[in-house]
Amino acid sequence: MNMQLDPNQFKENQRQSWNSVSKGWQKWWKTTENGAKNVSDRLVELANIKPGNKVLDIATGIGEPAITAAKRVGSNGHVMATDMSPQMLSIAKQRSASLGLERVMEFKEGDAETIELPASLFNAVLCRWGLMFLPDPSEALSNTHRTLVSDGYLAAAVWGAPEKVPFLALPISIIRKETHIPAPAPGTPEPFSLSDEIQLKNLLAEAGFRDVHTERLNAVFEFDSAEDYTLFQQETAAPAIAMLANEAKSRQDEIWSMVTEATKKYSNNSGHVKFSNEAICIAGKK
């Protein structure tokens, strides 16, 4: 953890940031889930989730991989989906109801480090692209370890190194260069902060997980055009939006235009944009 970071202030900023982009996530959820489906499916497999299981999803956002897990556990199972953003959680709840899963799923607001969870209840804990944003992932992992039954599983996904995740790294690198924002200090929560597999494995082992192993998956995100991709980032990318917050509107527009131009190298002759990105999946057993 970055010792200069005020975790409470950081969490509050995160909550506000994710609340502010919740409508964007609702608008673009088909795009994100088309790209992330194989990761959600694999996490459910790695966590050995079966019909009738009780599952916890931390940092669920607008409901994944909680919804994928809910479909697997069926009417005799139960999924608790948690997130620090009430606005994101509200959308997840709406999606659950629209799929007829409201009797299987429940939703609880709170951050993974401090949320009160029952001991030894869940068969599996899932987290897709949430651990990287936690000020103290060790505390969150210890908290989830306590809530698992004996021999229960944790399965999580984080992003690989920036050069292997152009879908996220492209706008961040341009914004950082144009605004002269320095690279984050080691231990600062950000999209790529857990891309070191050794560090990631150590975090799980220190929290008490055994049989820890990792694997890499390709997550492909596609857009009709470079302009569509930029609009997606403007409406969903909380970290990038926060970096631009102190810039004048005209300067923000100028930088987003640079993002659009840089995106074109990922497009084909018809303008269709395709990003291949590395996700790291990690699993362990209590």
The confidence score (pLDDT) of residue 3 equals: 53
Judge whether 238 and 21 are in contact, CB under 8 Å: yes
Total count of residues recorded for the chain: 286
Given a cut of 60, whether residue 220 has pLDDT beyond it is yes
Residue-wise pLDDT tens digits, 151-207: 999 999 999 999 999 999 999 999 999 999 998 888 889 999 999 999 999 999 999
Q: What is the pLDDT of residue 133?
A: 93
> What are the boundaries of each domain within the chain?
7-285
Q: What is the CA radius of gyration of the chain?
A: 18
| Cα 117 to Cα 8, 50, 114, 280, distances in angstroms | 20, 21, 9, 26
Residue of 67, 128, 131 whose CA lies nearest to 93:
67
pLDDT tens figures, 81-120: 999 999 999 999 999 999 999 999 999 999 999 999 999 9
Asked if pLDDT for residue 2 goes beyond 80, the answer is no
Give the start-end residues of each E strand in 129-261: 148-159, 210-223
pLDDT for 185 = 84
User: What confidence tier does 7 reach under pLDDT thresholds 50, 70, 90?
Assistant: confident
pLDDT at 64 over 80: yes
Centre a 10 Å sphere on the Cβ of residue 269 and count the other Cβ atoms it contains.
5
Mean pLDDT (the chain, rounded): 95
pLDDT value of position 184: 85
- Which CATH number applies to 7-285: 2.30.30.20, 3.40.50.1820, 3.30.465.10, 3.40.50.150? 3.40.50.150
Query: Residue 75 pLDDT > 90, yes or no?
Result: yes
- CA–CA separation, 134 vs 94, rounded Å? 26
Q: Has residue 269 got a pLDDT over 60?
A: yes
Which pLDDT belongs to residue 100? 97
**pLDDT per residue over 8-25, tens digit each?**
898 999 999 999 999 999
What's the whole-model pTM score?
Answer: 0.95
Percentage of the chain modeled with pLDDT above 70:
99
pLDDT tens profile 176-192: 999 999 988 888 899 99
pLDDT the model gives residue 30: 94
